[in-house]
Amino acid sequence: MSTFRDLAHPWVEGLTAYEPGRPIEEVARELGFADVEEIVKLASNENPLGPSPRALRAMRAAAPRMHIYPDGDAFALREALARKWGVAPDQLLATNGSNEAIELLGHVFLGPGRSIVMADHAFVIYRLVAASLQAQVISAPMRHLRHDVDALLAAITPATRLVFIDNPDNPTGTMVDKASIDRLIERVPDHVVVVLDEAYVELIPPERRPDAMRYVREGRKVCVLRSFSKSHGLAGLRIGCAVAPAECIRLLHRVRQPFNVNAMAQAAARAAVEDDAHVERFRRLVRRELAFLERELRRLGVEAVPSVVNFLLVKAGRGRALFQALQRRKVIVRPLDGYGLPEYVRVTVGTRAQNLRFVAALQAVLAEGGAP
């Protein structure tokens, strides 16, 4: 009798599953912790302030209508975002998190005999989506854990269709400056679409922030990805968007599922995007607590990569061992061997209380001779 495995495409067996930050409840069950409130999760770059109060009010107002299908075109949300970002509504596609946008781009542009170019330590979902569509992944080396635009350009082949840059980068916390992005856009071949993934862009100081939307307004072969998971605190709703010239957006519509963004997510995102004060509170928290963590790590003699976002890449020697040792002390961080960075862990910037818990747990591990 045949098995599911026998019936599947042979290449599926070789795919690697994404390893997310571990949920608090899962760690509590595994390690026998009775009180989940004692566990600090600093693994998924979540916003410790939670959603905007405006978004919470919008969700409560939307809740009684959850028996009705959402607006499949996300009209009101696209109108609000178009006003905010200075683009046209038909240059926007609302998505089930920015991950869905990456997958839709793959369905439109990738397949056997085609390739993507990405930095070797960039967001791993690019690699996983390309592999799931049997496209080749070409990795360009970073320079000092930063995207190297010239290396990305040199890696492009006639088969390349997408070049991905997450700016700022996850998991390194570094960014590409305006001049480098301009150079990439000017020099990229005509057969390539540049994908600028700006999931953390609100955390870059405004004066240093590249104006990626300008490339869309100019009609360049560029697709900008945005997320409401981080700065807007809506990770649990899975809401993001793609911004690109209208021709590209029409193609993405062809491969998306109907009603891909739920009604509550649309309502919350619409309210959240107008709450600049909430985003600014988050920025201030990140600046303050990032400086605190950097000082504490220096005090402990632990190296960290300078970051512009709400997480730090911390050099641990044996990253997974440190991840496990901290977990036993009820602190969850993110091991990075899946990103080709086995010596590091990624630590989210939390509240002062959460960060103190991390520092105390790390100090205890180091006092015992490092990660066992």
- Note the pLDDT tens digit of each residue in 272-319: 999 999 999 999 999 999 999 999 999 999 999 999 999 999 998 889
Asked whether residue 182 falls in the same domain as residue 267, the answer is yes
Q: Check residue 370 and give its pLDDT.
A: 62
> Does residue 18 register a pLDDT over 60?
yes
Asked whether residue 101 falls in the same domain as residue 226, the answer is yes
Asked whether residue 166 falls in the same domain as residue 250, the answer is yes
- Which of 251, 274, 297 terminates a domain? The answer is 274
Q: Check residue 371 and give its pLDDT.
A: 54
Instruction: Note whether residue 88 is domain-resident.
Output: yes
127 band by pLDDT with thresholds 50, 70 and 90 = very high
Asked whether residue 65 falls in the same domain as residue 19, the answer is no
Q: How far apart are CA 129 and CA 122, in angstroms?
A: 13
Instruction: Note whether residue 186 is domain-resident.
Output: yes
φ, ψ dihedrals at 317, nearest 5°: 90, -70
Q: How far apart are CA 104 and CA 110, in angstroms?
A: 10
Instruction: Note whether residue 233 is domain-resident.
Output: yes
Residue type, 292: F
Instruction: Note whether residue 218 is domain-resident.
Output: yes
Q: Check residue 11 and give its pLDDT.
A: 86
DSSP state string for 183-240: HHHHHS-TT-EEEEE-TTGGGS-GGG---HHHHHHTT-SEEEEEESSSTT--GGG--E
> Does residue 372 register a pLDDT over 50?
no
**If residue 332 lies in a helix (H) or strand (E), which one and from where to where?**
strand 331-332
- Note the pLDDT tens digit of each residue in 253-270: 999 999 999 999 999 999
Say if CB 156 and CB 192 are below 8 A apart: yes
Residue numbers of the domain that contains 360: 4-50+277-367
Residue type, 118: M
Asked whether residue 198 falls in the same domain as residue 251, the answer is yes
Tell me if residue 364 falls in helix, strand or coil: helix
Asked whether residue 261 falls in the same domain as residue 345, the answer is no
361 band by pLDDT with thresholds 50, 70 and 90 = very high
Asked whether residue 239 falls in the same domain as residue 251, the answer is yes
Where are the strands (E) in the chain, listed by range? 40-41, 92-95, 115-119, 136-140, 160-166, 193-197, 222-227, 240-243, 304-305, 311-315, 331-332, 334-335, 344-348
> Does residue 6 register a pLDDT over 90?
no
Residues 6+ apart with CB under 8 A from 279: 202, 231, 232
Asked whether residue 319 falls in the same domain as residue 257, the answer is no
b/e 262-297 (16+ beta carbons within 10 angstroms → b): bbbbbbbbbbbbebeebbeebbebbeebbeebeebb
Instruction: Note whether residue 152 is domain-resident.
Output: yes
b/e 324-358 (16+ beta carbons within 10 angstroms → b): ebbbeebbbbbbbebbebebbbbbbbbeeebbebb
Q: Give the other-Cβ count within 10 Å of 75's Cβ.
A: 12
Q: How many domains does the chain fold into?
A: 2
- Note the pLDDT tens digit of each residue in 209-245: 899 999 999 999 999 999 999 999 999 999 999 999 9
Choose among 230, 157, 166: nearest CA to 194.
166
Say if CB 319 and CB 308 are below 8 A apart: no
Choose among 96, 124, 128, 123: nearest CA to 110.
128
- Note the pLDDT tens digit of each residue in 71-85: 999 999 999 999 999
Report the chain's terminal Cα–Cα distance, integer Å.
46
- Which of 274, 305, 333 terminates a domain? The answer is 274
Asked whether residue 204 falls in the same domain as residue 245, the answer is yes
Q: CA gyration radius for the chain?
A: 21
Q: Check residue 316 and give its pLDDT.
A: 86
Q: What's the chain's average pLDDT?
A: 94
> Does residue 201 register a pLDDT over 50?
yes
**Residue range 310-337: mean pLDDT, rounded:** 94
- Note the pLDDT tens digit of each residue in 51-65: 999 999 999 999 999
Q: Do β-strands 160-166 and 240-243 pair in parallel, antiparallel, or remain unpaired?
A: unpaired
Residue type, 266: Q
Q: Check residue 159 and give its pLDDT.
A: 98
- Note the pLDDT tens digit of each residue in 89-115: 999 999 999 999 999 999 999 999 999
Asked whether residue 225 falls in the same domain as residue 103, the answer is yes
Query: Sheet holding 304-305: strands in order across?
Result: 304-305, 311-315, 344-348, 334-335
Asked whether residue 202 falls in the same domain as residue 312, the answer is no
Instruction: Note whether residue 304 is domain-resident.
Output: yes
Asked whether residue 300 falls in the same domain as residue 236, the answer is no
Instruction: Note whether residue 31 is domain-resident.
Output: yes
DSSP label of 141: P
Whether cis (ω within 30° of 0) applies to the bond prior to 168 is yes
- Which of 274, 307, 341 terminates a domain? The answer is 274
Instruction: Note whether residue 372 is domain-resident.
Output: no
Residue 117, domain CATH: 3.40.640.10
Residue 315, domain CATH: 3.90.1150.10
